[in-house]
Amino acid sequence: MDIQHVYTKKRSEFGRQVIFTDRAVESIADIPPNPDLSREYISRNPVELAIQNVREFSEHWVNTVRFETENRGINHVEGGWPKDINPLEPDQTSRFRKKTEKEDGFTRSMLSLGNLVEHTIKQNNIVDIYENYFQNLEPDVVEEAPYAKTVNIYRDPHKTRRAANHISWYADGARKLAVSYCNLEFQSGTNDSFIDSYIWDTENPTKPDLHLKPISPLVCIEFNPKDTHQLVGGCYNGQVCIFDTRKGSTAVEQSLIENSHRDPAYKTVWLQSKSGTEFFSASTDGKILWWDTKKLSEPVETLILDIEKKGRLENALGAMSLEYESTIPTKFMVGTEQGRIISCNRKGKNDAEKIGNVFPGHWGPVYALQRHPNFLKNFLSVGDWTVRIWSEEMRDDCIMWTKPSVHALTDGQWSPTRSSIFFTTKMDGTLDVWDILFKQNEPTLSIQVVDEPLHCLRVEEPHGRLVACGSQNGTVTLVELSDNLCVQGKSEKALVNGMFDRETRRAKILEARGRARRDARGKSAHGEKTEKATTDGATLESELKEADPIEKAEKDFWKIVDEEKRKRDRKAALAGEKAAAEAGETTQAEEAAPATAETTE
């Protein structure tokens, strides 16, 4: 295909118009030759030379050959079966094998092919060209310290400062980032007329690749893992909406507000399904709603998070985070606003059967919840000031936890490549990298990303080298990790598995000991009550109170307070007596002074 382009230029841009006229020859300059220089040159006759007193210009154009690419796929099936043979049917394949083996040429073919294969096998046994002779040798160098560097910074182009609440990586490579922007501060006075969110190209931090225009500010957003052009967003008014990058910036589908959440939709997660059109959402109104993009007018299914299993919405716990593993399609976990962690099963027929184990969780909202990528029975939760690692075998307490931080934690995630590493963000703008095999009392690496609170993070999969962090002022920072933070060692997975198993056994032993002590204390209290049925009730009540550690601690506390009060009263009394004594001495001195004067007179 020929490509032509016409270049146009105004007449005024060429300069003053040149007008040629005829006139006689005029000598402008006459420079005689230098006889000294003429001896150094050889004269030629004739000599022709073209001279111009202006700069020479040239114009060139070329049409390059267009390079066209195309994708081709091959449907590979087992063996070279004929068209009339279904390789998935054992009866047909066995009959075809027996028929082929009975043919006359089968034996001759196998013998001739066997000689070739035998010759190749002997050659391979003599020299193995793929043998690695140095795989057991370890390099005699010191491993470098872990580090991270900032790659790009993506700033919200709008002048109104909004927090970057959620980040989603492009499903097919680390090429794009979808970021939702929303101000979740209570009774904030900012102008919410601008509600756009963006899709950023990781190579272009100056301008968003696409503006997303929802019906309400987006609290969360997620790329569809099966259709990279499709995204689902949870809105501040409780609705959910679907975006398609091929159809523009506006939402192509959105739920009806009367069938949506009553609070902001804090999390949306795509489900593992054949169609790739199903997802579910969570909100602090106490509901989990399942949706299908083919019909967003109403949810497919609803779950009320009432841990008493009575289905009462007034008793439901508000959902803040969701955890869903595609390899376990029927199970999911919910982190609540009240700090509890609820394990659910979608196979249940009603809400009571869908709600399973309830873990105690944190003292505040659970901001992040994720299963370990390699050990699915263990999961991580982030809330208040700590990170806790749980095991599904232990329902009453976690198996590992971090030391309480000075600043509150806001988000966390496991590394997709290294089994022992997870990441957390804090309110002081710090990104912490924890390696539980290296040390548990402090992070392995702390990075001061920004000087404002960080609200979210998301690690790029499957390489785990890039970490995107969103801040309160809408700045998204892309951080690249060093090799030793994203490349797993040979025995790391086994060591982490052993650590989790060991901590689970320790927690089980401690739980069994505590249960045995409580049972023994209950039995002893019951036996004493039976034997001393006629004993004074006040004495028995005091013994039971002493057995309760909380009441004992309160009693000791008030005892210390009373002693401190008595000490202060005694000090005040002594000070009053001392002041009175000094006042009495002064009065006696004053009375004695006139008497002395009179005696002198």
Instruction: Kindly write down the DSSP assignment for every residue of 361-420, as one continuous string.
Output: --SS-EEEEEE-SS-TTEEEEEETTEEEEEETT-SSS-SEEPPPPSS-EEEEEE-SS-TT
Q: Count other Cβ atoms within 10 Å, centred on residue 547.
A: 13
Q: How confident is the model over 353-399, as pLDDT tens digits?
A: 888 888 888 888 999 999 998 888 899 999 888 999 988 888 888 88
272: left (phi over 0), alpha (psi -120 to 50) or beta: beta
- Could you read off the pLDDT of 294-323 as tens digits, one per residue? 888 888 888 888 888 887 888 888 888 989
Structural tokens at position 258: 């009367």
Asked whether residue 270 is assigned to any structural domain, the reply reads yes
pTM: 0.62
pLDDT at 57: 75
Higher pLDDT, 37 or 233: 233
What is the predicted pLDDT for the residue at 567? Answer: 86
Residue 425, in any domain of the structure:
yes
Mean predicted confidence (pLDDT) in 32-51: 79
Residue 594 vs residue 162, higher pLDDT: 162
pLDDT in tens, 537-568: 555 445 544 455 667 777 887 888 888 888 88
Query: Would you place residue 596 in the very low, low, confident or very high pLDDT band (cuts 50, 70, 90)?
Result: very low
Q: Residue 394 CB: number of other CB atoms within 10 A?
A: 17
Give yes or no for residue 140 having a pLDDT over 50. no
Closest C-alpha to 175, from 527, 496, 478? 478
On whether the CB atoms of residues 260 and 241 are closer than 8 A, the answer is no
| 474 within a domain of the structure (yes/no) | yes
Lowest mean pLDDT among 69-78, 417-426, 512-521: 69-78
Structure tokens at 249: 């910036």
pLDDT of residue 493: 87
Nearest partner of 312 among 324, 304, 320, judged by Cα: 304
- What is the C-alpha R_g of the chain? 41
Query: Is the pLDDT at 475 greater than 80, yes or no?
Result: yes
Question: Which has more confidence, 235 or 141?
Answer: 235
Check whether 453 has a pLDDT greater than 50: yes
- Distance separating alpha carbons of residues 152 and 161, to the nearest angstrom: 19
Say yes or no to pLDDT of 598 above 60: no
What confidence tens digit (pLDDT) does each residue in 106-115 have?
888 888 888 8
pLDDT above 80 for 156: yes
Quick check: 183 and 190 in contact, CB under 8 A? yes
| Residues in Cβ contact with 319 at an 8 Å cutoff, skipping those fewer than 6 apart | 266, 267, 282, 283, 284, 286, 287, 288, 305, 334, 335, 336, 337
Tokens of 231: 């995204």
Question: What percent of the chain lies above the pLDDT cut of 90?
Answer: 12
178-215 pLDDT, tens digit each:
999 988 876 554 455 678 899 988 888 888 888 898 88
What would the DSSP string read from start to end of 174-236? Answer: TTEEEEEEE--STT--S--S---EEEEETTB-SS-SEEEB-SS-EEEEEE-SS-TTEEEEEET
Query: Where residue 318 sits, what CATH number does that domain have?
Result: 2.130.10.10
pLDDT in tens, 117-135: 888 888 877 777 666 666 6
State residue 126 phi and psi, 5-degree precision: -75, -50
For the segment 344-355, what is each residue's pLDDT rounded down to a tens digit? 888 888 888 888
- The band of 478, judged by pLDDT with boundaries at 50, 70 and 90, is very high
Using the predicted structure, report yes or no on whether residue 286 has a pLDDT greater than 80: yes
- The residue among 243 and 31 whose pLDDT is bigger is 243
For residue 138, tell me if it sits in a domain: no
Residue 19 has pLDDT above 50, yes or no: yes
Q: Would residue 123 count as lying in a domain?
A: no
Q: Per the structure, how many domains does the chain have?
A: 1
pLDDT exceeds 60 at position 270: yes
Say whether pLDDT at 469 is over 90: yes
Is residue 183 within 8 Å of residue 162, measured between CB atoms? yes
Q: Would the pLDDT of 597 be above 80?
A: no
Angle at 289 between CA 415 and CA 476, to 5 degrees: 40
List the one residue out of 535, 466, 600 whose CA is nearest residue 151: 466
Token pair recorded at residue 246:
């091929």
**Residues 234-252 pLDDT 10s:** 999 889 999 988 888 888 9
Whole-angstrom Cα distance, residue 360 to residue 358?
Answer: 7
Q: Confidence band (pLDDT; 50, 70, 90) for 525?
A: low
By mean pLDDT, which of 15-24, 256-265, 370-379, 565-574 is the weakest?
Answer: 15-24
pLDDT at 142 over 50: no
Q: Per-residue confidence at 69, pLDDT binned at 50, 70, 90? A: confident
Q: For residue 473, what are the domain limits?
A: 148-504
Strands laid side by side in the 466-471 sheet: 148-154, 476-481, 466-471, 454-459
Q: Is residue 71 part of a domain?
A: no
Check residue 599 and give its pLDDT.
Answer: 41
Q: How far apart are CA 250 and CA 213, in angstroms?
A: 5
CA 146/CA 437 separation, integer angstroms: 14
